[in-house]
Amino acid sequence: MSFILDKIIYVLANAINNGMPILFGSTGEIITEKAGHLNLGIPGVMAVGGISGVVTAFFYQQSASKNTFLMILLPLLATLLGSLVMGLIYCFLTVTLRANQNVTGLALTTFGIGIGNFFGASIIKLSHSELTSVRIDETSKVFKATLPFASKLGFIGELLFSYRFLVYAGIIIALVCAYVLKRTRVGLHLRAVGENPATADAAGINVNKYKYVSTCVGSMIAGLGGFYYCIDKNGWSNDNIGPFGWLAIALVIFAIWRPNLAIFGSILFGLLLNLYDLIPALELNIKFPHGYDKLFKMVPYIVTIVVLIITSARKKRENQPPASLGLSYFREDR
Amino acid sequence: MEKAPAIELKNITKTFGRIVANHNVNLKVNRGEIMAILGENGSGKTTLMNMISGIYFPDSGHIFIDGKEVVIASPKDSYKYGIGMIHQHFKLVDVLSAAENIVLGLHGKYNIKEASREVARIASLYGFEIDPAKKIYEMSVSEKQTVEIIKVLYRGADILILDEPTAVLTPQETAKLFAVLRRMKEDGKAIVIITHKLHEVLSISDRVAVLRKGEYICTLETKDATEASLTEAMVGKKVALDIDRADPVDPEDRLIVKDLDCINREGAKVLDDVSFTARSGEILGIAGIAGSGQRELLEAIAGLQHVESGEITYKDPKTGKAENLRDKTPMQIRQLGVRLSFVPEDRLGMGLVGSMDIIDNMMLRSYRKGKSAFLQRKEPRDLANEIIKSLEVVTPSATTPVRRLSGGNVQKVLVGREIAATPTVLMAAYPVRGLDINSSYMIYNLLNQQKERGVAVIFVGEDLDVLIDLCDRILVIGSGHVTGVVDARTTTKEEIGLLMTKSVAHGEGGELNG
Amino acid sequence: MVKSPTEKKVREPLFHIVKRDAIPWWKAWLIRIAAVLIALVVVAVITLVMTGQDPIEMYKAMFDGAVGNSTRTWNLLQDTALLLIVGLAVTPAFKMRFWNIGAQGQILVGCLATTFCMRTFTGKVPTAVLFILMIAFALIAGAVWALIPGIFKAYLNTNETLFTLMMNYIALNLVAFFCFRWSKNSGNDVIGIINRSSKTGWMPDIAGNKFLLNIIIVAVITVAAFVYLKYSKHGYEISVVGESENTARYIGINVKHVIIRTVLISGALCGLAGFLLVSGVHHTLTTDVEGGRGFTAIIVSWMAHFNPFYMILTSFLIVFLEKGAIQVASAKNLQLDDNFSDIVVGIIILFIIGCEFFINYRIKFKSKDKAEEARE
């Protein structure tokens, strides 16, 4: 019995851990999309968020006096700042200058991943290491710390308390976003802006302000996802965050624009991503030849497409993308 | 000292590109009065009001609220000054509930339950019926308007602007609305109602301001005004409609519509047992309150609207053979050899492609001609030049995108193209809407020429004087029902007006009682 | 009862924004060129501040990197051609307002199909037949990959942006899977150069130049795409559907039919790009054979306002910057990582995207406005 429980906990912990960058990215993208902006720059935002945190951690680690609190705080602040700048660039172009959102987003992704890779590679050069990635073991150890007593609390304790604090942060952020969207005035206004900016405008809502704030806050949350990924891998390695950014966009659809559903979706995606590697650990009598991991990795995207098709076929108004998604708003258009 | 007016506009000017929507408009609205803004379509009424409600920003001019000059740069500013506008096109978010829409944009504690109670209270106070939790996309048009009005009341607006509020209402609902407005007036509120219906102006307003082609004409005391004087102010000099009307020559049945039923996207029945016959060599007018099913009727004939039941039959002038047009696509109708031309209400959204030039727009109907995979631009170019010349289209060249032309010129291009197809049936929906007098007359003449050529012309209009002077017979339609067919030579405006309203009561009676 | 305005004096907004009627073409290009120049200055400042490298040296190295010798120049031209064909591929769909951002996936399945043919049919069929098979398979694969979202768009109005985006990653993992299956040493995911010695299924050299044929093919397609969009009935229908579906219905265009036909063309051209990449350039299949062209092409097409001839210019600009910036990294006197190219290109593209605003809109300042009024 406990053997099975152990397995469940192992699988679940693995899935949560894998899904967490996606959850951060997806929560950020949901509030961005709720304001009517499809930010395809999320992979770039996550990359910049990740590299900002990693670079800061890397340098702080080398400083003489180290302090655990600052070791946590500084990288997080750097992450938020880095992704905020990306969010601002996107906003300025799409909200103020009304540029095409798809084009801007894709350019931002190229740009952001380029920044990530550039600094990743430059720091390797600086540190004269032979490694292919920037290591921040000390910092990630601090971030990976879990409650010491969790394992002593038995099954329930391990199931609920054995994760890193960023996991709880991710879940809480998603829940808060869900609450704000559904139950507060700010959320109501945000939904109105994304559905029908002209109406929101007529109702006296500052449309551009909402678009700016939601896109920037969304970017900052997504940036945390990038940093989480780096912590998990103990450092930066080039080109690895991008796929998580696209998965985050997929998860938005899968969760039909609801951050609370995205929590479960992220666990499912995390599970699907690593399912292949988990199979041996589960000691099940199923054997897939090596290489089939690639096929397993398709599954989240296929599932997302199925959800997209079903929601468009059912035409339930509440489950559709925000009506003005991807469109610029100009008050005097006629 | 005299109390300052609630709103005063001084020398307001607004242009869109080259189009002057408002030019030096002056206006005063006092508290405790209902001011009607009267003008034809395109006279700039809505643009003017949009500047008060912060949607547009004036190019020049001054706005005073209670005697103090203000700047209304956004709708937020306008709310701040207690101005509430009920737009003709509802400004509601479809996926939100009535209560959510009503509190949209407000500040303070967010409590949707309390808001719902307040909404219910206001509704019962004025006798509206509303379910605060109902989603907008599930609502009928009149329910949506109720939400809009309650929204403004909820905010405690003391300056109310209503943009053609009665266009979508039944007479009973209109009467109810007017009662509410009078109550608000007694409350000391300033109310502006935009309309082009004279009888409404006379029954509800205290004063009436008239706009014509973006210019402010005058303000009259309603008690001193008559339909005749208002019309004169609205259209300028008393226009004796001097349309030459020939008698139909050998009319024969061309298009026979029988027991037509249509249901629109919202699931409402928009055409109910409509039957009529259009004959060659005559102009059949269609009169009715806007949105009574005129659009759906023409689109059903053109193969653009799904038909629930009924028949649409075309009689070929050469062979006399009857062709069934129901459930045919526009393509299939053309392939049957039916020469059906259609000038739709939505000129740039349906009849033409705004970003294409005149030549490419000429091709819309004919580009498929010939077996070649490539376009043949010579004929359309010739046609474009010919239309520009013969219809006096004002345009820099034939390669100018039609979006840049003025409304009248856009319409000339569209009508010119449809007539060039030498139709046997020509349908035109509001073909003179927004046009100046000269352009309007050119369109009337074109329709008359077509009639004399033996074309069966169907003309949907809103101006009863025009319908009476231009058409041979007039079909009156209301809420999707045909309520009468009258002889245009003997009928009166009163008769048609009566038929228009009578039909409405009959058609919507069930809903009202329910 | 009456809320009195709190402001003492009247405040006027500093400026407001109005849509432009039309702008002379030379003015529009002046704005764009100015944007690129400003972007170059910004890049120079960033380079100086971030890396301490001399920006003038960097630009020199960039120019040298792009066209420094004939191999580089040919490489530049070929890569321009390869980016251009993808740009051409996405354009018909964009003109129809179908946001096909799945070019990446469509190219990848084209590559996959080409590789499959090379591996399967080499030696079994004559070379000419092999080429026909390769091209046919690539076209079909790309078309099918685009058709799937196209059908759902036409019949269920499923959001095509998100759908095609997802299709990219399915294709990517599919390619990864086959890279593994077909790898020589099981497990390293490397297929290696196919037909290295016989060069069967490789695009032949023309006049001893291995780049020329690719470039010629794309040049022909560019002209064909221009003609198709501007002078064919299909192209006309695409424009009408893109501008207004109501008008399309009004004149009897079968909108679903046009959507499906157009995405088929779009996807097939992407598949052809995949064929060129495998047969004409790489002679092997890897997961990054597509090289990000699917996304960059969207920017190419959009910046060129969907005009195939302008696209030559925009794709050349981007490839020139990319190539130059990559070479900068290996320049001896500079110490920059080759990923710096993405940053340079990114900044310049963002500036070009931003400058469109000044072409479409005009900022009216209040004071200037009054002066204008007085003049009139």
> Using one digit for the tens of pLDDT, what is the confidence trace for A139-182?
878 787 776 666 666 667 666 777 788 899 999 999 999 999 99
* Predicted pLDDT of residue C7: 36
Q: Which pLDDT score, from 0 to 100, does residue C182 have?
A: 86
In three-state secondary structure terms, B129 is coil
d(CA C113, CA C66): 32
The string of pLDDT tens digits covering residues B188-238 is 889 999 887 777 888 899 999 988 878 888 888 998 888 777 777 776 654
What band does A131 get if pLDDT is binned at 50, 70 and 90?
Answer: low
Question: Is residue B469's pLDDT more than 70?
Answer: yes
Distance from CA of B373 to the nearest CA of C (A): 6
CA dihedral sign of residues A187, A191, A192, A197: positive
CA count, 13 A, side-chain hemisphere, B458: 30
- Tokens representing B319? 């062979």
Mean predicted confidence (pLDDT) in A180-205: 90
DSSP bridge partners of B474: B285, B486
* Pick from B360, A239, B281, B38: nearest CA to C244: B360
Residue among A82, A74, A69 nearest A115 (CA): A82
Does C3 sit within 8 Å of B81, measured CB to CB?
A: yes
How far is CA B300 from each of CA B102, B234, B309, B480, C279, rounded to the nearest angstrom? 36, 34, 11, 13, 54
Residue C110: pLDDT band with limits 50, 70, 90: very high
**Residue B344: φ, ψ to 5°:** -75, 160
Those residues with Cβ within 8 angstroms of residue C132's Cβ, 6 or more apart along the chain or in another chain: none
C-beta separation of B467 from B293 below 8 A: no
**CA torsion sign, A160 to A161 to A162 to A163?**
positive
pLDDT recorded at residue A215: 95
A284: tokens are 């099940």
Q: What is the pLDDT of residue A198?
A: 87
CB C306 within 8 A of CB C94: yes
What CATH topology corresponds to B5-235? Answer: Rossmann fold (3.40.50)
Q: Which positions in chain A touch B348 (Cβ < 8 Å)?
A: none
Q: Collapse the DSSP code of B193 into the 3-class scheme (helix H, G, I; strand E, B; otherwise coil) and give the result.
A: strand
Q: In this predicted structure, which of A158-167, B67-76, B423-432, B499-508 has the lowest mean pLDDT?
A: B499-508
C-alpha R_g of chain C = 24
Which one has a higher pLDDT value, C90 or C57?
Answer: C90
CA-closest candidate to residue B294, choices B449, B500, B498: B500
pLDDT of residue A112: 93
Residue B505, pLDDT above cutoff 60: no
In a domain, C52, yes or no: no
CA dist A151 and A161 (Å) reads: 8
What's the pLDDT tens digit per position in C269-306? 999 999 999 998 889 898 888 888 998 999 899 888 89
Averaged pLDDT, A184-190: 93
Interface contact C15, partner A, CB < 8 A: no
Cβ distance B360 to C19 less than 8 Å, yes or no, reads no
Residue C1 scores a pLDDT above 50: no
Give the number of A-C residue pairs with CB atoms closer than 8 Å: 159
Q: Which of C9-13, C321-325, C371-375 has the lowest mean pLDDT?
A: C371-375
Report d(CA C85, CA C300) in Å as an integer.
10
For B69, phi then psi, to 5°, come to -70, 135
Show the tokens assigned to B289. 């309150």
Q: Which residues of B touch C362 (CB under 8 A)?
A: none
List the single range of B67-71, B134-138, B440-444, C322-326 with lowest mean pLDDT.
C322-326
Across C126-146, average pLDDT: 95
Question: Is C278 a domain residue?
Answer: yes
Compute the distance between CA of residue B26 and CA of residue B41 in angstroms, rounded to an integer.
19
Q: Across the interface, do A318 and B95 touch by the CB < 8 Å criterion? A: yes
Alpha-carbon distance of A142 to A163, in angstroms, equals 13
Residues of chain B contacting residue A188, judged by C-beta atoms under 8 Å apart: 96, 100, 103-104, 110
Residues 109-138 in C contacting A (C-alpha not used; CB under 8 Å): none
Task: Supply the pLDDT for residue C99.
Answer: 87
* C105 phi and psi angles, rounded to 5 deg: -65, -40
C344 within domain boundaries: no
B376: which 2 tokens?
């043949």
Rounded mean pLDDT, B51-61: 87
**Which C residues 66-105 touch A at CB under 8 Å?**
99, 101
Residue B293 has pLDDT above 90, yes or no: no
* Candidate from A86-95, B261-270, B461-470 with smallest mean pLDDT: B261-270
Q: Which H helix or E strand runs over B157?
A: none
- Positive/negative CA dihedral, C290, C294, C299, C304: positive
Q: What is the pLDDT of residue B318?
A: 84
Q: Would you give the DSSP letter of residue B5?
A: P
User: Which neighbouring-strand residues pair with B255?
Assistant: B278, B314
Q: In the prediction, which pLDDT does A122 show?
A: 76
Q: Looking at chain B, which subunits does it touch, using at least 3 CB pairs closer than 8 Å as the criterion?
A: A, C
Asked whether the predicted pLDDT for residue B507 surpasses 50, the reply is no
Name the C residues in 278-317 with CB < 8 Å from any A CB.
292, 295-296, 298-299, 302
pLDDT in tens, C231-243: 999 999 999 999 8
Render the burial of C70-102: b for 16+ CB within 10 Å, e for the rest. Answer: eebebbbbbbbbbbbbbbbbbbbbbbbebbbbb
Q: Is the pLDDT of residue B334 over 50?
A: yes
**Contact check, Cβ <8 Å, B76/A188:** no
Which DSSP category does A6 fall into?
Answer: H
Lowest mean pLDDT among A105-114, A170-179, C197-206: C197-206
Q: Which tens digit of pLDDT belongs to each residue from B82-131?
A: 898 888 778 889 899 999 999 988 887 888 888 999 898 888 777 677 88
| Structural domain of C242 | 80-315
Q: Angle, nearest 10°, between helix axes B171-186 and B493-513? A: 90
- Is the pLDDT assigned to residue A259 strictly greater than 70? yes
Q: Could you give the CA distance from residue A225 to residue A242 in angstroms, rounded to a whole number?
A: 11
Q: Does position B240 have pLDDT exceeding 80, yes or no?
A: no
B83 bridge partner residues = B159
Task: Give the pLDDT band of residue B512 (cuts 50, 70, 90).
Answer: very low
Closest chain A residue by Cα to residue C287: A294
- CA-based nearest distance A181→chain B, Å: 12
Whether residue B503 has pLDDT greater than 50 = no
**Mean of the per-residue pLDDT values for chain A?**
86
Please report, to the nearest 10 degrees, the dihedral formed by the alpha carbons of residues C217, C221, C222, C223 taken in order. Answer: 110
* Mean pLDDT score, C128-139: 95
- The answer to the question of residue C18 being in a domain is no
List, as ranges, residues 138-177 from C with C-beta within 8 Å of A. Answer: 152, 156-159, 161-163, 165-170, 173-174, 176-177
pLDDT at position B17: 67
Give the pLDDT mean for C75-98.
93
What is the per-residue pLDDT across B367-418, written as a single tens digit (0 to 9) for each? 888 888 888 888 899 999 999 988 888 888 888 888 888 778 888 899 999 9
Tell me the residue type at C210: K
Does the pLDDT of residue B437 top 60, yes or no? yes
* CA–CA dist B220, B210 (Å, integer): 8
Choose between A220 and A250: higher pLDDT.
Answer: A220
pLDDT surpassing 70 at residue B241: no
Q: What is the pLDDT of residue C208?
A: 77
- For residue C169, the chain A residues in CB contact (below 8 A) are 243, 246-247, 250, 298, 301
**Confidence class of residue B452 from pLDDT cuts 50, 70 and 90?**
very high
CATH class of the domain at B239-339+422-491? alpha beta
What is residue A181's predicted lDDT score, i.e. its pLDDT? 93
* pLDDT tens by residue, A279-316: 776 666 667 777 778 888 888 899 889 988 998 888 77
Helix locations, C232-254, DSSP H:
233-243, 245-250
State how far residue A15 is from chain C, nearest Cα, in angstroms: 20
Question: What separation, in Å, do the N-terminal and C-terminal C-alpha atoms of chain B show?
Answer: 51
In degrees rounded to 5, what are phi and psi of residue B458?
Answer: -115, 120
Cα separation values, C302 from B27, C305, C312, C318, Å:
47, 5, 12, 13
Nearest residue of chain A to residue C179 (CA atoms): A291
Q: How confident is the model at residue C257 (pLDDT cuts 50, 70, 90)?
A: very high
Residues from chain A contacting residue B56 (CB–CB below 8 Å): 331-332
State what percent of residues in chain C have pLDDT above 90: 42
At A14-55, the pLDDT tens digits run: 889 889 999 999 999 999 999 999 999 999 999 999 999 998
C207, pLDDT greater than 80: no
From B18, which residue of chain C is nearest by alpha-carbon distance?
A: C21
Helix (H, G, I), strand (E, B) or coil at C288: coil
**Per-residue pLDDT, A150:** 62
Which candidate from C18, C173, C298 shows the least CB-CB separation from A106? Answer: C298
* Model pLDDT, residue B1: 44
State the ipTM, two decimals: 0.85
* Domain membership flag for residue C323: no
On average, the pLDDT of chain C sits at 85
Q: Name, in order, each residue with C-beta under 8 angstroms of B298's C-beta and a sequence gap of 6 or more.
A: B342, B344, B427, B429, B458, B460
Candidates A180, A185, A201, A258: best to mutate against B (most CBs of B within 10 A) is: A185
Amino acid in the structure at residue C88? L
A142-155 b/e with 16+ CB inside 10 Å = b?
bbbeeeeebeeeee
Domains and CATH numbers, chain A: 2-327 (1.10.3470)
Chain B closest-CA separation from residue C261 CA (Å): 14
pLDDT score of A129: 60
**Residue B268: enclosing H or E segment and its boundaries?**
none
- Find, among C268, C265, C219, the residue nearest to C238 by Cα: C265
Report the domain count for chain C: 1
Strands A235-236 and B33-38: unpaired
Residue C116 falls within a domain, yes or no? Answer: yes
Residue C343 has which token pair? 């940053």
Measured between alpha carbons, how far is residue C323 from residues A44, A271, B103, C42, C327 in Å?
Answer: 21, 40, 56, 19, 6
* Partner-chain contact B375 C232, CB within 8 Å: yes
Report if pTM > 0.80. yes
Containing C334, the helix (H) or strand (E) segment is none
Is A295 in Cβ contact with C342 (below 8 Å)?
Answer: no
Q: Which of residues 215-274 of C touch A (CB under 8 A)?
A: none
Furthest-apart CA atoms within chain C: distance in Å = 92
Q: Is the pLDDT of residue B513 over 90?
A: no
**Domain annotation covers residue C337:** no
Smallest CA–CA separation between B107 and chain A, in Å? 8
Which pLDDT value is given to residue C238?
94
Whether B492 shows a pLDDT value over 50: the answer reads yes
Residue A177, classed as helix, strand or coil, is: helix
Facing B104 at nearest CB: one of A203, A323, A334:
A203
- Of the CA atoms within 13 Å of residue A55, those in its CB half-sphere come to 21
Amino acid at B159: I
DSSP A96-165: IS---HHHHHHHHHHHHHHHHHHHHHHHHHHTT-S-SSEE-HHHHHHHH---TTGGGGHHHHHHHH-S-H
Return the ∠ at Cα C15 (arms to C14 and C19), rounded to 5°.
Answer: 170
φ, ψ of residue B63 to 5 degrees: the values are -120, 130
Q: Please report the DSSP string for C216-233 in residue order.
A: HHHHHHHHHHHHHHHHBH
Q: Look at residue A132 in the predicted model and tell me its pLDDT.
A: 60
Q: Nearest CA of chain C to the CA of A36: how many Å?
A: 14
**Model pLDDT, residue B465:** 79
User: How much is the mean pLDDT over chain B?
Assistant: 84
Q: Which of C173, C295, C354 sits opposite A93 (nearest CB)?
A: C354
Res C364: pLDDT: 73
Indicate the helix (H) or strand (E) that contains C349: helix C340-360
Q: Using 50, 70 and 90 to split pLDDT, how confident is the model at A332?
A: low
Contact B330 C22 (CB under 8 A): no
Contacts with C373 from chain B: Cβ below 8 Å: 59-60
The DSSP code for B401 is B
In Å, how far is C225's CA from the nearest CA of chain B?
13
